[in-house]
Amino acid sequence: MNNPTESTFSRAMGTVALRWHGSRLELLDQRLLPAQECWISLEGASGVARSIRDMVVRGAPAIGISAAYGVALAARNAVSGDWKAEIRQAIRELSASRPTAVNLFWALQRMERVFDSCESVGEAQTRLADEAAAIHHEDLAGNLAMADHALTAMGLSADNALPVSVLTHCNTGALATGGYGTALGVIRRLHEKKLLTRVYADETRPWLQGSRLTAWELMRDDIPVTLNADGAAAAILAAGAVRWVLVGADRITANGDVANKIGTYSLAVLARHHNVRFMVVAPSSTVDMSLTSGADIPIEERDGCEVREIGGVPLAPDGVPVFNPVFDVTPADLIDVIVTEKGVVRNPDMAGMQELFG
């Protein structure tokens, strides 16, 4: 994978979800978008863990990157003689923030490996900050590489390629990553190459990542987007309005099953029924080869108030029981291609995943 130039990076770094300042981490509060752009400044790991749990920052890669910076902050704040115990406690607290996105655990394990080889708190402070920044940088570089791999996999890298319309679910953009985005990064690249007619963006109930975040990101970049209710996706696919469904992932297992935002599975069934291609775009930090199938993925269930109300406005009778799993699993056989920075897996299965990640 060739490292993109600084200019490619700065061009890609339009919208950002997080800013590292060496002694503090700033997060754009995604709960308040698009109405307000409010940055929260954090100087400790507990604040980062709380921000992940409360979805100030969300999206699998951005969760991993934030957690890594959280460990770096813990090292900076380690004051007691037992700096190792303090950092270990911070890692435990961060790992308990959300269960499904494996990027969180991948990043914490990577930080822990560095931490275990540190002899002094001073060394830990420097090396953990460097490692967190490396995780951040690599994520952006990976997103830029995935955009190229995806266009090739879509058969759109030829000069005479015709523009396409696509549909996407949730938010997989700069807000959910180290910048540029995964599935939304592919959409940005299609637009840059004048190969995009229109994006349909599912609103993505109940937390509305599609309407509040994806539509916001795309309009800031003048990318043609139409927002739709989740229930309208079937009609859009049936009408033949799109050629591809592009989504991200929170965890991909050894057999190619994919956990992603609730509603992704039904989109995959619809796409197969209407002969629309289905692509998953995710960095290799989202691949969990330790799990054999999607049935093993811990699926987060969040509070029912996320469904019962919006911004404090009741949408349902008080106290009505709610089932609110925030992710579902799409079986590998409904996926046409998985795109990662390391390459692509067509018609994913155990053998294909093993070949690339074994």
Which spans of this chain sit near ligand MRU (rule: CB under 6 A)?
58-61, 101, 170, 172, 176-177, 182, 209, 248-250, 260-261, 326
Opening angle at CA 180, ends 174 and 186, nearest 5: 115
- Cα–Cα nearest to 283, from 145, 128, 191, 155: 145
CA distance readout (Å), 104 to 25, 52, 92, 252, 344: 17, 10, 11, 14, 23
Query: Can you give the length of the chain in residues?
Result: 358
Q: Are 258 and 267 in contact (CB under 8 A)?
A: no
CB of 264 to ligand MRU, least distance (A): 8
- 3-class secondary structure for 214-275? HHHHHHHCCCCEEEECHHHHHHHHHCCCCCEEEECCCEEECCCCEEEECCHHHHHHHHHHCC
CB of 74 to ligand MRU, least distance (A): 23
> Which position's Cβ is nearest ligand MRU?
248
Q: Are 199 and 224 in contact (CB under 8 A)?
A: yes
**47 versus 248: smaller Cβ distance to ligand MRU:** 248
Residue whose pair of structure tokens reads 């916001």 in the numeric block: 216
For residues 146 and 135, give the distance between their C-alpha atoms in angstroms, rounded to a whole number. 16
CB of 259 to ligand MRU, least distance (A): 8
CB of 191 to ligand MRU, least distance (A): 18
**87 versus 259: smaller Cβ distance to ligand MRU:** 259
Long-range contacts of 320-325 (CB under 8 A, 24+ apart): 324/206, 325/262, 325/299, 325/300, 325/301
CB of 183 to ligand MRU, least distance (A): 7
56: which residues sit within 8 A by CB, 6+ positions away?
A: 27, 29, 30, 31, 40, 50
**248 versus 348: smaller Cβ distance to ligand MRU:** 248
Instruction: List, by residue number, the catalytic residues.
Output: 250
Helix (H, G, I), strand (E, B) or coil at 125: helix
CA distance readout (Å), 113 to 67, 84, 117: 15, 13, 7
CB of 317 to ligand MRU, least distance (A): 26
**185 versus 352: smaller Cβ distance to ligand MRU:** 185
For residues 157 and 161, give the distance between their C-alpha atoms in angstroms, rounded to a whole number. 7
CB of 16 to ligand MRU, least distance (A): 14
**100 versus 125: smaller Cβ distance to ligand MRU:** 100
